[in-house]
Copies of this chain bind each other. A is one copy, B any other.
Amino acid sequence: MHPALPSPITAHDIAARLDATLIGDPSTTVCRLASLEGAQGDAISFITHKRYLAAARQTLAAIVLVDERLAPELSHVPVRLLVPDPYVAYARVSQWFAQLLAGPDAAAGIHPTAILAQSAQLGSKVRIDAGAVIGEQTVIGAECLIGPGCSIGRGVTMGSGCRLDAGVVLYDGITLGERVIIHSGAVIGADGFGFAPSKQGFVKIAQLGSVRIGDDVEIGANTTIDRGALDDTVIGKGCKLDNQVQIGHNVQIGEHTVIAGCTGIAGSAVIGSRCMIGGGVGMVGHLRICDDVIIGGMAMVDRPVTEPGYYSGGWPLQAHAQWERSAVLLKQLPALRQRIRSLSTLVGLPKDPS
C-alpha cells in the first residue's frame, strides 16, 4: 500500500480530470490507488475485465473506474466513474497520484557539483543533479531532468522533457527524442561488438555510427544499447524496453514495440512496429521480424518472422527426473524415427512422407 496522498481528492475532481461520468456522491474522497482486493474505504480502484467481477463485488474501494458494460454489476460501490478504458484511466490516475506523492519538484537548476562543458546548451527549466557530467556541444532540451552521477558525452542531443535517472551513461553523439525516460544504470552508445580476426588476434572495428532514440521511449535499468558500426542503431518512437535488455549494434526497431527484461537482440536485427517480445528472449543477428509479432518469453529467435502472429520456443518446465528422460529421448529421436520406418516397411504401411 503506497503512502496516503498529502490531501484527499474528491470523486468530482477525478471525474473532471478523466472526463468520466460520475455515478454516486461527487464529494466522496480518496487518498490512495489500490487493487480491488487491496482497497480500503479510502481508495480508488479499477476493473479491466469481467474475470475480476468476483473481486469487484467484494471490494471496499470508495471509487471504482469501470466501463459502461460492467458498471451495472458494481452498484454497491459508493462511486462509479464510467470511462471508455478503465486501464488507461488507471494509468492516468497513477501518474497524477505519483506527482502528488512526489511533492513539489526540486527546483530546476544545476547542482554545484555537476560538471558542464563550456559549449553545452541547456533549455529552460533543466535540472542537473549532483555529480552529473555533460560534454562539449551537447544540447539538452527544456525541462529535462538529469539524475545524479549521469555521464553525458560530447555532441549528445536530447529533446525536451527527458528524464535520466541516477547513473545513466550516454556516450558521444547519441540522439534522444522528446520525453524519453531512461532508468538507472542504462548505457546507451557503447561500442558495438565487432572485430576482424587476424593472425595477431582480433582487430577492433571502431564503431562510427551512433544511437537514435525516438520520442516517448522508455528504457529500463541496466539496459544496454550499442552504437552502430557505420550507420546508427535506431529505437523507434513509443518503444518500451524493460530492464537488462541488450540491443546490439545496427539494430533497428520500429514504433511502439515492447521488449521485456533480459532479452538480447544481436547485431543488425530489424524488428517491426507494435511487436511484443517476451523476457529472456534471444534473437540471432541479421534477422528481420515483421510488424505485429508476439514472441513468447525465453524463445530463441533463430529465423526471420514474415507473418504477424504469436511465436514461441523453449522447453517447458518438468520434474527433473522427467526432464532427464525427455532429454535422453530427444537425442534418440533419429533412432526412433528409423524404428518407425522399419516397422512401416515390415507391416507394409505406405511410405512415410516425412
Contact = CB atoms under 8 A, between A and B. Distances in A.
Interface stretch (A6-14, A17-25, A119-127, A219-227): A219-227
Contact of A262 (B201, B204, B246): B246
Give the copy number: 3
B315 A319 contact: no
* Chain A interface extent, by class: 35 or more
A261 interface: yes
Contact of A208 (B2, B166, B342): B2
Interface in A71-121: 85, 87-88, 90-92, 94-95, 97-98, 101-102, 111, 113, 115
A313 B309 contact: no
A312 interface: yes
A347 B65 CA distance: 63
A27 interface: no
A131 interface: yes
Contact of A91 (B187, B203, B218): B203
Nearest to A303: B317
A2 B208 CA distance: 6
Interface stretch (A52-60, A138-146, A321-329): A321-329
Interface of A: 1-3, 33-35, 38, 85, 87-88, 90-92, 94-95, 97-98, 101-102, 111, 113, 115, 129-131, 133, 147-149, 151, 153, 165-167, 169, 171-173, 181, 183-185, 187, 190-191, 193-198, 201-210, 216, 218, 220-222, 224, 226, 229-231, 237-238, 240, 242-244, 246, 248, 256, 258, 260-262, 264, 266, 279-280, 282, 284, 294-303, 305, 309-327, 329-337, 339-340, 342-344, 346-347, 349, 352-354
